[in-house]
């Protein structure tokens, strides 16, 4: 794993954007794995600005998102579908047909997991996957204890994840209890991974990532076995390393 230290959230976002834009511009078509949450919001802002100023085109880009809440429809303001359209897709020239987010309202969720996994495979796999990291080491919504062999699957969200995400809802009670997420093996198949982390709340997670042994108790630890991972993190997040 390569670590790039930057001074703050803005620099993390800019550095990540440079990397993504370089990839998008160098490949005629590419598949980008996307994350939601507070961490990549600045990156998406930078991509939008660059699209407007420099004309980087996303016509040849396919995207696959990591996860979605179970039970929230595409119209729900807290769905990751809405997040992606608000924070990125509506502002760039990507074709909606090329964007993929697992459905949290499919009638048969098991079938939806298989469909999503197959679609990623048919697209030729993910060239570059963006990741955040949860305080408990989750990547996507793969909570501690998730099998490293897992493909796209349904998860029970831990109390700490629901509490961390309650800031987007009007109460903790409203935060869904389940989600559909790419699995650890789905993520590990990506050819390249860019993990972003900013702020004090990520200090412990990054320390454990660097120091702990590879274990399903700390899902992100598996990234140490991936041949092409870059961490872009700010000074606050890296303070314990
Ligand atoms: P955050 O979430 O970007 O909102 O901190 C990251 C995560 O939980 O994976």
The per-residue pLDDT for range 92-144, each reduced to its tens digit, is: 999 999 999 999 999 999 999 999 999 999 999 999 999 999 999 999 999 99
Alpha-carbon distance of 129 to 65, in angstroms, equals 9
Collect all residues with Cβ–Cβ distance below 8 Å to 226 and sequence separation of at least 6: 1, 188, 190, 193
Q: How high is the pLDDT of residue 68?
A: 98
194: number of Cβ within 10 Å = 24
Is 233's pLDDT higher than 90?
Answer: yes
Percent of the chain with pLDDT over 70: 100
Contact 225, 35 (CB under 8 A): no
Select which of 14, 46, 50, 67 is catalytic: 67
Q: Is the CB of 125 under 6 A from ligand 1?
A: no
Is residue 67 among the annotated active site residues? yes
Q: How high is the pLDDT of residue 28?
A: 87
Nearest residue CA, atom 3 of ligand 1?
39
Q: What number does the ligand 1 atom closest to the CA of 39 have? A: 3
**One CATH from 3.40.190.10, 3.40.50.1360, 3.40.630.40, 3.20.20.60 for 2-196+216-234:** 3.40.50.1360
pTM value > 0.95: yes
| Domain residue ranges in the chain | 2-196+216-234
Q: Bridge-partner residues for 215, per DSSP?
A: 218
Task: Taking residues 150-169, report their average pLDDT.
Answer: 96
* Residue of 134, 161, 182, 203 with the most ligand 1 atoms within 8 Å of its CB, for mutation: 134
Alpha-carbon distance of 186 to 31, in angstroms, equals 14
CA of 134 to the centre of ligand 1 (A): 5
Is residue 52 among the annotated active site residues? no
CA of 140 to the centre of ligand 1 (A): 9
């Amino acid at each position: 794993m390569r670590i790039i230290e930057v001074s703050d959230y803005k620099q993390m976002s800019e550095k990540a954007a440079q990397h993504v834009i370089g990839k998008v511009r160098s490949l005629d078509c590419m598949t980008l794995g996307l994350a939601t949450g507070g961490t990549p919001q600045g990156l998406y802002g930078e991509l939008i600005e660059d699209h407007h100023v420099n004309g980087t085109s996303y016509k040849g880009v396919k995207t696959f998102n990591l996860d979605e809440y179970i039970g929230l429809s595409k119209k729900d303001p807290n769905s990751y579908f809405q997040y992606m359209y608000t924070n990125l897709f509506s502002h760039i020239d990507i074709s909606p047909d090329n964007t993929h987010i697992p459905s949290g309202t499919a009638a048969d969720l098991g079938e939806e997991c298989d469909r999503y996994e197959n679609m990623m495979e048919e697209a030729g796999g993910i060239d570059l996957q963006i990741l955040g990291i949860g305080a408990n080491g989750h990547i996507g919504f793969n909570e501690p204890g998730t099998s490293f062999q897992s493909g796209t699957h349904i998860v029970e969200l831990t109390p700490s994840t629901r509490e961390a995400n309650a800031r987007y809802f009007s109460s903790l009670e409203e935060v869904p209890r389940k989600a559909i997420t790419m699995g650890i093996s789905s993520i590990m198949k990506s050819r390249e991974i860019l993990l972003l982390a900013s702020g004090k709340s990520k200090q412990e997670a990054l320390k454990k990532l660097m120091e702990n042994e590879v274990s399903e108790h700390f899902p992100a630890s598996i990234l140490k076995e991936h041949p092409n991972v870059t961490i872009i993190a700010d000074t606050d997040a890296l303070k314990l390393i």
